[in-house]
Amino acid sequence: MSTIRRSTAGNGSLQRPLSTEDEEPENIFLFIPNLIGYFRIFLAILSLYYMPLHPRTCCLLYTISCLLDALDGLAARRFNQSTKFGAVLDMVTDRCTTACLLVFLASAFPRWSIVFQGLISLDLASHYMHMYATLTMGGSGQSHKKVDEGRSWILKQYYSNNVVLFTFCAMNEMFFIALYLLSFSSPLLSPSLLQTNKSTSSLQPGSPAAPKPSMLFTNPWSAGAMEMARANKLDSTVPWILAGISFPVMFGKQIINIVQLVKASKWLAEGDVAERKRIRDSKKI
């Protein structure tokens, strides 16, 4: 509703009404939850930079970035700054950071690369299909976290309880972080980590089969080489414990991803059937 204010000149003249159109629009990009989201992206990029040679630094940065995922939601509710942009930013950040970690694990464990590639595809496909089905079938104003219990009881429990949602996401990331640490510290999973190849001992250093050490390893005086030397001597007990604890929850989250993909596909198919029936009925008329 417009308001009228008197001139400060004291002549009794009235200025033009102030309407809502005169108000400066809010800058959604500078909302506190979104600023936290940008900081998460910054930490994630830093963790990727340190990922090949600095496992301790990488884990610290990656873990902080994941934990901030809960903080931006609290900030959105606390300051009444929940936005569609923030929700999408949060989801995209989660999907991209997890995918990047899985890409590293695929290179660290080549024999299991197809499993990690499948997990990346399942994660991206299920969330994209769920988001698209929610927007097209549920309406543009409906959140992807608002799931009808009649459509999927599992997804209803997963998205409606913040504690359950955070636990599944945190344990899922914990399992992959544990595998990441084991790629540096476990001779069982990475046999070549602490073993030397004796078959090339008789080869000359100049031959292609036995390149110079400088071509394979970083400078021995560099920080990366020092961190790698420490990591190779790490006890893998703690990462194995973390992997064992988080594996059941991680496996459960993949089941939820499959359910989410199937339910979203069926929801879209129902929309297609209804649309085709509407077109047929209109032609008959």
| Residue 10 within a domain | no
Tell me the catalytic residues.
94
What tens digit of pLDDT does each residue of 123-142 get? 999 999 999 998 888 766 67
* Whole-number Å distance between alpha carbons of 53 and 227: 7
**pLDDT of 150 strictly over 60:** yes
| Residue 54 within a domain | yes
What tens digit of pLDDT does each residue of 162-188 get? 899 999 999 999 999 999 999 888 878
User: If pLDDT is split at 50, 70 and 90, which confidence band does 223 have?
Assistant: low
Tell whether pTM > 0.95. Answer: no
Please say whether the beta carbons of 216 and 278 come within 8 A.
no
Q: Which pair of tokens denotes residue 230?
A: 């420490």
What tens digit of pLDDT does each residue of 71-102 get? 988 999 899 998 989 989 999 999 999 999 99
| Residue 43 within a domain | yes
The residue-averaged pLDDT of 41-65 equals 93
| Residue 229 within a domain | no
Residue 218's nearest CA partner among 36, 30, 37, 53 is 53
Please say whether the beta carbons of 65 and 33 come within 8 A.
no
In order, the DSSP letters of 114-178 are: HHHHHHHHHHHHHHHHHHHHHHHHS-TTS-TT---TTT-HHHHHHHH-HHHHHHHHHHHHHHHHH
Q: In this predicted model, which residue has the larger pLDDT, 40 or 212?
A: 40
| Residue 217 within a domain | no
Assign residue 252 the CATH number of its domain.
Answer: 1.20.120
How many domains in the chain? Answer: 1
35: domain range? Answer: 27-188+234-284
| Residue 137 within a domain | yes
What tens digit of pLDDT does each residue of 185-200 get? 887 887 666 554 444 4
In order, the DSSP letters of 19-58 are: -GGGSPPP-GGGSHHHHHHHHHHHHHHHHHHHTTT-HHHH
Rg (CA), the chain: 27
| Residue 1 within a domain | no
What tens digit of pLDDT does each residue of 256-276 get? 999 999 999 999 999 999 999
| Residue 242 within a domain | yes
